[in-house]
Structure 1
Amino acid sequence: MLCEVDISGLGVIDRARAPFSSGLTVVTGETGAGKTMVVTSLHLLSGARADPGRVREGRDKAVVEGRFATDGTDAATVAAVDEVLESTGGARDEDGTVIAVRTVSADGRSRANLGGRSVPAGALAEFTAPLITVHGQNDQLRLQRPDQQRDALDRFGDRTISGPAKRYRAARTAWLRARNELLDRVARSRELAREADQLRFGLDEIGAVDPNPGEDVELVALIRRLGDLESLRESAARAHEALVGGDAGDEPAAMALLGAARSALGGAEDPALTALEPRISEVIAVVTDIAEELSSYLDGLSADPAVLETHLNRQAQLRTLTRKYAEDVDGVLEWARVANARLSEVDVSSDTLGELEAEVRRLADVAATAAAELSAARTKAAGKLSSAVSAELAGLAMGRSRLEVRVQRRAAVPDDDAPLTVDGELVHAGASGIDDIEFLLQASGSGRALPISRSASGGELSRVMLALEVVLARSNTGTTMVFDEVDAGVGGRAAVEIGRRLARLARTHQVIVVTHLPQVAAYADQHLIVDKTQGKTTAVSGVRLLDDSERVVELARMLAGLDDTETGRAHAEELLATATAERTANA
């Protein structure tokens, strides 16, 4: 419940405090006095966009401070409020109320505070959402929007619609997730198939060459050797001849000389010389090994020029692989290992896609069943809402006008991103269901029903909205409802009926109404007046709470300006007494 609002520097209001009690509070005043600024202040506390043009001339900022109490609201509302306070770091005052503040600077900057903490304006909107609903003239126009009409129907049928709606959203989410995965896998399977083909091609190419680790390095040394074959052969042959001797025997060989040295030492009688003989034998063994390796080397040198060509061809094959897959043969072999592992991970089998397709069909059936259940629940609730609102309209002097709530399934379009077959019909499965909800008004019980956006006048739209709120209020108690000139465009008997319905609504809600009709104001539990006084340079408006005698004067003024006549006051007293008696009788 809204306890009070302090307003400073907003429009024509320099500084004012508006106290609010439970029940019905009306706000009246002369045209231009600033009544709408009271509603504007509540819009600001609800997180609405800040308009620097609303800052009073000569002031650098406008400040609105509201105090809210959650006594009398349901547990869900209290929980929602506490959740916002916890998330923002705000706190209740000692008396359990919560203070919200909105500041609008003349330069366009805006600040918000909640429970003593600075917060974004969106946090105020989240805080006030379960506590207060403001119906300004622009809010009445929103009733013409299909999404607002759907929300109204869902609020009315909450007990029978919320369950199917929850099941539908869960089923739709699961279906779309699986469907998107299938579409992604189908597109991805083509990519994976191409990747698999590329991997297989590379592995086949590498397998055909069949390189060995380090083979490219060995080939470089071998080809260099074969390219310098004659020079290498001559060097090895000369070395071998120097060690073991040649065929001509012209030059002494190392082996012969070492053998002679060993023989000479072996015949000596001096132990110092004979001790050298084993060492010479070791040298002979080493030279023998070297000679054998040189012989093997010479035997390994091919005399066939085709051998070099063979190695060069092999080197060209390896270079083809290293140009494509890695810098060297070892890198090529590593690429092949990774490619084999990746190939085993790529699943492009039709079996996998078939299983996913079957799951999508199953989930689509579940979503279709939930959608049909939600549609049926809305259709049933729509008939009840039509009857209830139409009954209220009859009491609001709208003759035999009837509100029709139409529920129609929305057909899927060719490029629909969420087509679903429900009862054999291809429909669009939106986040809120498969139905389009439309409010139509049949005027005076004759002619065909037309959408309220085309058939309802401003006054009729106000009464339709009031009738709807009265009906919806039965399932939602304890919150604050604000109406800005809901009685616009009506008078006489219709004005009395609007007053009665607002009084009835105020039995379960705190209702604040800005009105220019005395018939409505007479039903108030509390009457505030916004009056304007002319200062030295500018006009200043303030807000006052009227007592009973002051109410009579204000009602007389609203009765065509008869506040200064006995007749006007008598008429006002009679109107106030009649409304008070009726409220007391219906309490």
Structure 2
Amino acid sequence: MLDLLHIENIAIIEQADIAFRPGFNALTGETGAGKSIVIDALSAVLGQRASRELIRTGADHAFVSAVFSHIPEGLGEDLGVADAQEWLLQREIYTDGKNVCRCNGRPMTVTQLRTLGSRLLNIHGQHDGQQLLDETQHIVYLDQYGRYEPLQSAYSAQFSVLQDIRRKISDLEMNEAEKERRMDSLRFQIAELERAKLQPGEDEELSERRNLLRNSEKFISALQGADFCLNGGDNDAGALSLLRQAQEHLASVRNLSDSFSELHDRLEGIYSDLYDIAYTVQDKKEEFEFTPGELDAVEGRCDLLYRLKKKYGATVEQMLEYLDKCRQELDEMTCADDTLAHLKKQEEKARREVMAAAGELSRQRKAVAKELEQRILTELRELNMGSIRFEVAFEEKKPDASGIDEVRFLMSANVGEDLRPIQKIASGGELARIMLAMKNVFSSQERIGTMVFDEVDTGVSGRAAQKVAEKMARISREKQVLCVTHLPQIAAMADTHFSVEKGVSDGRTFTKVQELSRQQRREELARLTGGEQLSQTMLDGAEELLAAAEKFKKTV
């Protein structure tokens, strides 16, 4: 149940606190006073779309909070919201588009807030009735009421399998000329890649070898020079020979002094390292062998790989993967007849399973439709539509994602008239009452504790308005009801009545919301009936409305 709505800087509402109560709460006021702004604020704190244009002129952000009580256990468990006696939902909307949302101080996303809000409160707007004119929504309403998710899931899974098989068949049943062109292309690509005899990693090895060959003279010259310096020539001593001579000179005095011994040992270590380096240089020089045409061969191979990479992949590994795919596709096309025959058998089996699942879903829908018809008719009779006939009509269609059922709501508003599609015969007032009946039927299956009706009385007057008021009074005995209305019959039936008024202060327009006393309600109902100039007759009529409403509420 919604206990408190706090609003800051929403449109022309600078600040307002509305303490809603159990039962039937009504909001009335002149057109443009800001009644719908209250609903917009409530929608915002429940995570619905909220434009930055909603922020009051001159403010940098808007803030809305709502306190809910009597929360069903486990309602927010999947969103990480712990059970509590009360939930405090908050939302800040900034001019730069930023949103800050919280539940009991815990940050959450707008999507999470919207999910949570949908479980706490249901808003029925004045335009919702227009959805009834869209026949594609009729099956959605029926499924929403039916609650046969396991059957829908089973059908969806079977239909998905059938669609996948049919896609594979379509791919195989391509035009024969196109198929031949594709096979010729695959054969050419396979042959080109196979002739290349690709080896994983060879592009890196070739690049390194090409760099070596291109600079062979520099490498050879460097190795020969280093070898001469280390090992010397026929007539010249190298570094190794000279270092050995230095070591032998120091050997004669190494035993006479510790410092000379240390020098001798250091030379020995240096000689050992230099010896290893000298032989490594020699090994490199001996390894560096190549034939005169090797560079041309490596260059040619690199050019081949470059051309292939432009067509088949950035690396040798990617080209080999592409080759495997081509081989596989060609094999599949070559064996297409066998594969197609196999898929056809799978398709027939999947089609039978789809039709079986669709049939079971359809049977369940038709059973639920009969129950829905009776419940809606009961509701409509309570809304002064006693002669109405309402029927959920079925037509079979080609299986699609929703099944094999084409669902339409038919009605006849007058005795002797044939059943026809709602959109062809229902007036605005009839649409409003049918939608109200459906909302009440659907809400009875949900754990939602609060229902909001935003000017759903459009097109309703007289006795029909009185019946709508009585229906809302009945609903409010099981759920909290909030209703924005222009009709005195509905406002009179409320347990708690709020007035929404617009004024001007310091050059700025503002809206205030106040709860009305019994006497104030009498005056407000008189204004709703006859305008600003109140007469005693109008006041007496308002008193009669209140008294009649109080008498009726004692019976429900």
The answer, yes or no, to whether TM exceeds 0.5 is yes
Aligned residue for 1:528, secondary structure, equals strand
**In structure 1, how many angstroms separate the alpha carbons of the residues matched to 2:51 and 2:527?**
32
Normalized against structure 1, the TM-score is what?
0.64
| Aligned position for 1:394 | 381
User: Where does residue 159 of structure 2 map in the other structure?
Assistant: 172
CA contact (8 A) 2:128 2:435 kept: no
Aligned to 1:83: 78
Q: Conserved in 2, the CA contact under 8 Å of 1:64 and 1:101?
A: yes
TM-aligned CA deviation for residue 148 of structure 1: 3.1
In 1, distance between residues paired with 2:401 and 2:325?
A: 42
Q: In 2, Cα distance between the equivalents of 1:579 and 1:192?
A: 80
CA RMSD between the two structures: 3.8
Which whole-Å deviations, capped at 9, do the CAs of 1:52-94 have from their partners, x for residues lacking one? 44433443443322233462x4x6xx44x3323x3xxxx5697
> What residue is the counterpart of 1:111 in the other structure?
99
The alpha-carbon deviation at position 497 of structure 1 amounts to 0.6
* Aligned match of 2:483: 513
Distance in 2 separating the partners of 1:523 and 1:340: 77
- Please give the alpha-carbon distance, in whole angstroms, between the structure 2 residues aligned to 1:186 and 1:563: 80
**Contact 1:478/1:510 (CA < 8 Å) preserved in 2?**
no
Alpha carbons of 1:339 and 1:446: their partners in 2 closer, same or farther (altered >3 Å)? closer
Question: In the alignment, residue 509 of structure 1 is paired with which amino acid?
Answer: K
The verdict on how the C-alpha distance between 1:379 and 1:189 changes in structure 2, with shifts beyond 3 A counting, is farther
Partner AA of 2:99 in structure 1? R
Matched, 1:155 2:144: yes
Change (3 A) 1:441 1:325: same
Using a 3 Å threshold, how does the CA distance of structure 1 residues 486 and 194 change in structure 2: closer, same or farther?
same
2:77 corresponds to which letter in structure 1? D
Single out whichever of 364-373 and 62-71 deviates more from structure 2.
62-71
1:470 aligns with 2:460: no
Inter-CA distance 508–181: structure 2 relative to 1 (3 Å threshold)? farther
Whole-angstrom distance in 2 between the partners of 1:484 and 1:205: 76
Pairing 1:257-272 to 2, within 5 Å after superposition:
none
Deviation at 1:2, TM superposition (A): 2.5
In the TM superposition, residue 156 of structure 1 has moved relative to its aligned partner by: 2.3
Q: Is the 8 A contact 1:26 1:521 kept in 2?
A: yes
1:340: Cα distance to partner? 10
Distance in 1, Cα, partners of 2:447 & 2:303: 75
Aligned equivalents of 1:340, 1:406: Cα separation in 2:
55
8 A Cα contact 1:143 1:149, kept in partner: yes
Letter in 2 for 1:144: L
Q: Which residue number corresponds to residue 405 of structure 2?
A: 435
Distance 1:443 1:540, change over 3 A: same
Matched, 1:557 2:533: no
- Aligned twin of 1:460: 430
2:297 maps to what in 1?
none
> Superposition pairs for residues 179-578 of structure 1, below 5 Å?
179-184=166-171, 194=184, 197-198=187-188, 346-347=331-332, 348-349=334-335, 350-398=337-385, 400-410=387-397, 427=398, 429-561=399-531, 564-578=534-548
In structure 2, C-alpha distance between the alignment counterparts of 1:486 and 1:45, rounded to whole Å: 21
Please give the secondary structure, in 1, of the residue aligned with 2:530: coil
Give 1:56's aligned amino acid: R
Give the Å deviation of 1:366.
Answer: 0.6
Cα displacement (A) at 1:16: 0.5
Conserved 8 A contact 1:477-1:508? no
Change in Cα spacing, 1:357 to 1:521, as seen in structure 2 (3 Å) is same
Residue number in structure 2 paired with 1:215: none
- Which residue number corresponds to residue 114 of structure 2? 125
| Alpha-carbon distance, 1:361 to partner | 1.6
Partner-residue secondary structure (3-state), 1:30: coil
Q: Which residue of 1 aligns with 2:59?
A: 59
- Match in the other structure for 1:32: 32
Number of residue equivalences: 435
Secondary structure of residue in 1 paired with 2:392: strand
Return 5+ residue gaps in structure 2 as ranges: 197-300, 307-318
Q: Is the 8 A contact 1:378 1:407 kept in 2?
A: no
1:27, distance to aligned residue in structure 2 (A) = 1.0
Q: Is the 8 A contact 2:6 2:66 kept in 1?
A: yes
CA contact (8 A) 1:50 1:110 kept: no
> 8 Å contact 2:440–2:475 — kept in the other structure?
yes
- 2:544 partner letter: E
Aligned equivalents of 1:466, 1:326: Cα separation in 2: 73
Say which one has the larger Rg.
1
Distance 1:554 1:4 in 2: 23
Question: Aligned in 2, Cα 1:200/1:577: closer, same or farther, shift over 3 Å?
Answer: closer
Distance, in Å, in 2 between the alignment partners of 1:577 and 1:173 is 60
Q: Which whole-Å CA distance do the structure 2 matches of 1:532 and 1:204 have between them?
A: 83
Q: Which residue of 2 aligns with 1:135?
A: 124
State the match for 1:303 in structure 2.
none
Aligned with 1:59: secondary structure? coil
CA contact under 8 A between 2:7 and 2:64: conserved in structure 1? yes
Structure 1 residue 185 displacement after superposition? 5.7
Mark the CA change 1:70 to 1:152 in structure 2 (over 3 Å): closer, same or farther. Answer: farther
Query: Does the CA-based 8 Å contact 1:112-1:124 persist in structure 2?
Result: no
Q: Structure 2 CA distance, aligned partners of 1:392 and 1:524?
A: 20
Q: 1:281 corresponds to which residue?
A: none
Deviation at 1:367, TM superposition (A): 0.8
Change (3 A) 1:98 1:203: closer
**CA distance in 1: counterparts of 2:62 and 2:443, whole angstroms:** 33
- TM-superposed CA distance for 1:466, in Å, is 0.6
Q: Indicate conservation of the 8 Å contact 2:122/2:452, yes or no.
A: yes
> Does the 8 A contact of 1:518 with 1:555 survive in 2?
yes
2 CA distance for matches of 1:368 and 1:43? 42
Q: Does the CA-based 8 Å contact 1:478-1:508 persist in structure 2?
A: no
Q: Using the alignment, how far apart are the partners of 1:201 and 1:41 within structure 2? A: 69
Relative distance call for 1:442 and 1:112 in structure 2 (3 A) is farther
C-alpha change, 1:44 and 1:148, in structure 2 (3 Å) is farther
